[in-house]
Amino acid sequence: MADNRPIGVFDSGLGGLTVLKELEKVLPNESFVYFGDTGRVPYGSRSNDTIISYARQDENFLLSKDVKYIVAACGTVSAVAAHTANELPVNFMGVVENSVKAAVAATKNKKIGVIGTSATINNGAHKTKILEIMPEAQVTTADCPLFVPLVEEGFSDKDDIVVLEVAKRYLAPMVEAGVDTLILGCTHYPILLDAIKKVMGNGVTLINMGNSTALAVKEELTRLNMLNSSNRWGNKEFYVSDLTSSFAKISKILLGENIENVNLVDISKYEGSFNRN
């Protein structure tokens, strides 16, 4: 039967708003609860154990909002802590697996690139999954630690000399390897899509994790008959662990709209709060 409960989306900060944006496009009638762990961002430089602990708290919070489905919009969580899905009473989706499937389907020369945070790249989840599906693939990876602060400071124009030079430096291994498909393995990176495309050239397919994930979520909810049966546009609720002074600016950049109401959460209270089956 149909399920009108909201979909929960969480990220280490606000980058997951780009995933929420794609989910809204594909599922306009659904309601969403978004949690950004802005008080502990970034996850990308944390240890695996810490990332797993944070992910469980984030998931617990969303469960307290009676969500029917959880999307880990964070590339780092999806790479390091996706196994926490096995403990959840609701279905879960990360952003790694579907972006890998999209990349494998898109590549023609079997040379695939992956860019992401240091934790995402060091974990190697993208590369491992690519090689599981396409063992003959040549995978080139690179971490791009300056991309996130560039986006959050409002630097994203493809003609901005700072953006372009940083992109050239980070993407040089991809150009040298001749990849024809590049996974944008961090939720902030779609904001830099034009600059990345300018460096890589029009012949390279760029995989937006948010888009591939949104399409997969719609497919699964349809299969499970869990789509919202209402004909009305869905609602959105926003929660953060720290309401920073830059919240309004960054959220507008990433989501493309102003967020008028945001709620503060003490995320530490959600450690082990639920019986996880």
CA distance 13 to 247: 10
Distance of CA 160 to the CA centre of its chain: 25
Q: What angle do CA 92, 14, 249 make, to 5 degrees?
A: 155
CA-based Rg of the chain, rounded to a whole angstrom? 18
Residue pair 187/251 in contact (Cβ under 8 Å)? The answer is no
Residue pair 70/260 in contact (Cβ under 8 Å)? The answer is no
Residue pair 75/187 in contact (Cβ under 8 Å)? The answer is yes
Terminal-residue alpha carbon distance, the chain = 22
| Catalytic positions, written as ranges | 74, 186
Q: How far is CA 121 from CA 1, 118, 145, 161, in A?
A: 40, 5, 11, 26
Burial class (CB in 10 A: 0-12, 13-18, 19+), 39: middle
What is the longest distance spanned by two Cα atoms in the chain?
Answer: 53
Give the number of residues written for the chain: 277
